[in-house]
Amino acid sequence: MVYEFDTTKQRSKIMKRIKSTDTAPEINFRKILWSKGIRYRKNDKNLPGKPDIAIYKYKVAIFIDGEFWHGYNWEEKKNRIKANRDYWIPKIEKNIRRGKKYCRQLRNLGWSVLRFWEQDIKKNQNKCLRRVMAKIQKREIKDGKI
């Protein structure tokens, strides 16, 4: 599907409609965690990077990243960007660097960090859930709760 945009106003209107929080994959994954009895905070401003899901009890931070915005398969994909390359390539590379910085900061605070691509949540929810549960179990063992 190809879209034609006559003005930057049209592009701006479309871009404003893209959600940064409470995306469908985030909501679906949170529902699964809640159904398993895992309580969390969402987009907690007190933590570096405002993780999409912060499980305080186990100090597990979860980010669910959009493929375009966070550079999925970046080395291959950036060559395919044709429109406005001077804007998009630096922007996405900045997002990638910022994501790594927040992971480092969270780990320095004693948090475990999991990052999932939106497509992984959509296609492999159970696998993602198993990774979260494994991380929680490791934290329980480490903290002597098991």
Residue 120's pLDDT is what? 95
Residue 71's pLDDT is what? 86
Residue 30's pLDDT is what? 96
Instruction: Give residue 34's Cα distance to chain centre.
Output: 18
Q: Which stretch of 7-11, 36-40, 46-50, 86-90 has the lowest confidence by average pLDDT?
A: 7-11
Query: Does the structure show a pLDDT above 70 at 15?
Result: no
Distance CA 39, CA 60 (A): 11
Domain boundaries, the chain: 22-142
- pLDDT tens digits, 92-122: 899 999 999 999 999 999 999 999 999 999 9
Q: Name residue 40's amino acid.
A: Y
Q: Name the β-bridge partners of 112.
A: 60
Residue 1's pLDDT is what? 43
Distance CA 64, CA 114 (A): 9
Spatial contact of 55 and 39, defined as CB atoms under 8 Å apart: yes
Predicted structure pTM score: 0.83
Helix axis angle, 24-35 to 125-142, nearest 10° = 50
User: How are beta strands 53-55 and 60-65 bridged, if at all?
Assistant: antiparallel
What CATH code would you report for 22-142? 3.40.960.10
Confidence of residue 5 (pLDDT cuts 50, 70, 90): very low
Residue 142's pLDDT is what? 73
